[in-house]
Amino acid sequence: MKRVQHMIRRLWLVGLVCGLTAASPTWAGEKIYIVTSLPDLADLARQIGGDAVTAEALATGVENHHAVPIKPSMVVKLNRADLVILMGMEYEHAFLPALLGEARNPKILKGSPGYIDCSVHVTPKEVPENLSRVEGDVHPLGSPHFNLDPEGGRAIAQAIYEGLVLNYPALKPKFEANYNAFLAKLDEKEKEWAVLARPLKGLKFVSYHRAWAYFADSFGMISVGEIELKPGIEPTATHIVDLLGQMKAVGVKVVFREPEYPETVPDQIAAQVGGVVVKMPLMAGGVPEVKTWFELIEYDIRAVLKAAQEAGVIGKV
């Protein structure tokens, strides 16, 4: 018995020493430490927060947003965060609620001022009529992929700005200046994108996952369907046949493949219709050359343009 008790004491000591001799804390010191769900939000938080904030994202951008792995190391980040910024509309349902429940940080719990939900100013699209799981893993509040829309970026920035001011009113002049600078840049970029994306008006496409309502509406494109049978459900052979029929009937030649989904089926579908597969990241970091939100929108527009040209559905621009 004494031997066992001695062993137990040793084990506890080992654990305690391991923990306390771990690397020293890496919190940001005086800066406001922001943890975001997506890299896009971290980028926008830095743009609006400026040098008053340091922001990092839990996801790197390459993950499937429904399968961002829950890691205990994320708990540590959230435990130290001053603010958490998320997309909302159940975008992060697969990982963030569990992490917030374990993080022991009341400042950033839902309902607290430090919990910044970027969907508050978004007019949702694709709000489901039927909430049954017959429709797959639906988003009950509508599509949460509004980061793929210039106006979505505006809504996100507004939510971040308001959240920063609410929590740090003394820094309002700084945040306001950065926010206005962001809006000015966005206004300019929107005009550029509108011109750039003009040839895409009326372009029909299919995607692997249902995520492109905001992007398509913004630039006048038309989604004909998805490769997934339903959101979150892999395609069946019958569904692929039906999809091919639809694509041929209306002349769809462009297939969006989000990088986290496999290549095989999209490649086969594109080959069947004489079309082109285009890699379309859903978040910043989804491909190496996209590091910011502005780059994400620009990349996606140009990628579709290139694919549409290759497929012969638009002329060279």
Within 69-98, the residues that bind other proteins by CB under 8 A are: 69-73, 75-76, 79, 93-95, 97-98
Phi, psi dihedrals of residue 259, rounded to the nearest 5°: -60, -25
Distance from C-alpha of 21 to C-alpha of 95, rounded to nearest angstrom: 29
274 lies in the site for other proteins, by CB under 8 A: no
* Least distance from other proteins to the Cβ atom of residue 22, Å: 4
113 belongs to the binding site for other proteins (CB under 8 A): no
Interaction of residue 238 with other proteins, rule CB under 8 A: no
How far CA 219 is from CA of 198, 285, 305, in Å, comes to: 7, 22, 11
DSSP code, position 23: P
CB of 269 to other proteins, least distance (A): 17
58 vs 304 by CB, closer to other proteins: 58
CA neighbours closer than 13 Å in the CB half-sphere of residue 237: 0
Positive/negative CA dihedral, 306, 311, 316, 317 = negative
Q: Dig out the tokens for 142 from the structure.
A: 């509508």
Nearest to other proteins of 120, 196 (CB atom): 120
Q: Is residue 64 part of the contact set for other proteins (CB under 8 A)? A: yes
Residues that bind other proteins (CB under 8 A): 1, 4, 7-8, 11-12, 14-16, 18-20, 22-26, 60, 62-64, 66-67, 69-73, 75-76, 79, 93-95, 97-99, 101-104, 106, 109, 111, 120, 123-124, 127, 131, 133, 136-137, 140-142, 232-234, 259-260, 262
